[in-house]
Amino acid sequence: MNDASVAQRRSAADLLPSGDGGAKRRMRAISPSRLAIHATLLFAAALYLVPLVVMLLTSIKTPEDIRTGNLLSWPETFTLIGWVKAWSVVDGYFWNSVKIAIPAVLISTAVGALNGYVLSMWRFRGSQLFFGLLLFGCFLPFQTVLLPASFTLGKLGLANTTAGLVLVHVVYGIAFTTLFFRNYYVTVPDALVRAARLDGAGFFTIFGRILLPMSVPIIMVCLIWQFTQIWNDFLFGVVFASGDAQPITVALNNLVNTSTGAKEYNVDMAAAMIAGLPTLLVYIVAGKYFLRGLTAGAVKG
């Protein structure tokens, strides 16, 4: 049968035995090798968490605290002044990023889904070549598209606008989203589309009623991937936006790199964390789909 139902059955089966067997397994699990594995994992987790801890601690210290203590010392006085100041600096830019990321993510995901649907279910003459060229887009470094993109935006009258930046992100992202959806849909049996055609469904009905409802995992993958890429983008932001239209990554860079006055590390750290929070949130909300979606093609039924 189809992958979705297989996955459903498999996950249901996974749930059942862990109910009573889990405790027993934990009891006899304490062997030296298992201990070593856990120790290694804990160490690795700690190593990755240290920068975050440093940032968090620094962001709630006073500038004096930062100067007198070390990176990991506990703050003498706990203060949110860094966060307040940081927010007052990046406030507008944060919303710029939202205004860029949300439309760009939604449009590139939608176009990718449609592309993937056509490339896997309605193959046309030359569709393989088309897909190959599109794949090529995944390997293009950002730098190579800067000049052509800026030329095109100028011609379109979109230079230095949020819409222009959205367009650049959409075009650049379509290669990835198409790849995701196409690889997901090639695992869907052709017979499903054939059955729907015999049932009288047309191109968009088949897409909307049959394929999209099966696509939740890969939609999540696309949303996470695209949001992370676009929210964290610096290069397109610094090149294609100026002044008040800049995204938060550019604003953060400007804040950290100002050479006037004393360095306020607490503000820098708080601003960096504000810039990073939305991607963190997206992972927490949709992350469980991420691995499932990425490996969906691998567990062919």
Partner 1 sequence: MATLELRNVNKSYGSGLADTLKNIELSIDSGEFLILVGPSGCGKSTLMNCIAGLESISGGAILVDGADISGMSPKDRDIAMVFQSYALYPTMNVRDNIAFGLKMRKMAPAAIDEEVARVAKLLQIEHLLQRKPGQLSGGQQQRVAMGRALARRPKIYLFDEPLSNLDAKLRVEMRTEIKLMHQRLKTTTVYVTHDQIEAMTLGDKVAVMKDGIIQQFGTPQQIYNDPANLFVASFIGSPPMNFIPVRLQRRDGQCWAVLSSSLGVAGQARCELPLGELEAGMDNRDLILGIRPEQIQLAADDGAEAPSICAEVEVTEPTGPDTLVFVNLNQTKVCCRLAPDMTPQVGSTLSLRFEPSRVLLFDAQSGERLLAKKRQATDNKVAQLKRG
Residue 194 sits in the site that holds partner 1 (CB under 8 A): yes
* Closest-CA residue to 131 (of 56, 51, 185): 185
Residue 200 sits in the site that holds partner 1 (CB under 8 A): yes
Q: How far apart are CA 252 and CA 72, in angstroms?
A: 23
The nearest distance, CB 291 to partner 1, in angstroms, is 20
- Choices 2-10, 33-41, 52-60, 142-150; region in contact with partner 1 by CB under 8 A: 2-10
The nearest distance, CB 70 to partner 1, in angstroms, is 56
- Choices 58-66, 67-75, 131-139, 199-207; region in contact with partner 1 by CB under 8 A: 199-207
Q: 199, 204, 208, 258: which one contacts partner 1 (CB under 8 A)?
A: 199
- 3-class SS string, 72-91: CCCCCCCCCHHHHHHHHHHH
What stretch of H or E contains 243? none
Residue 123 sits in the site that holds partner 1 (CB under 8 A): no
Task: Output 181 or 227, the one with its CB closest to partner 1.
Answer: 181
Distances (CA, A) of 186 to 164, 179, 220, 296: 33, 11, 18, 11
Task: Output 216 or 238, the one with its CB closest to partner 1.
Answer: 216
**Helix boundaries (H) for the chain:** 3-27, 32-59, 63-68, 81-121, 127-136, 142-156, 162-185, 190-198, 203-205, 216-232, 235-240, 248-257, 265-294
Interaction residues for partner 1, span 3-22 (CB under 8 A):
4-6, 8-9
- Work out the burial of residue 291: count CB atoms within 10 Å of its CB; fewer than 13 is exposed, 13-18 middle, 19 or more buried: exposed
Residue 209 sits in the site that holds partner 1 (CB under 8 A): yes
Task: Output 9 or 263, the one with its CB closest to partner 1.
Answer: 9
Q: Site residues (CB under 8 A) for partner 1?
A: 1-2, 4-6, 8-9, 189, 191-192, 194-201, 205, 209-210, 213-214
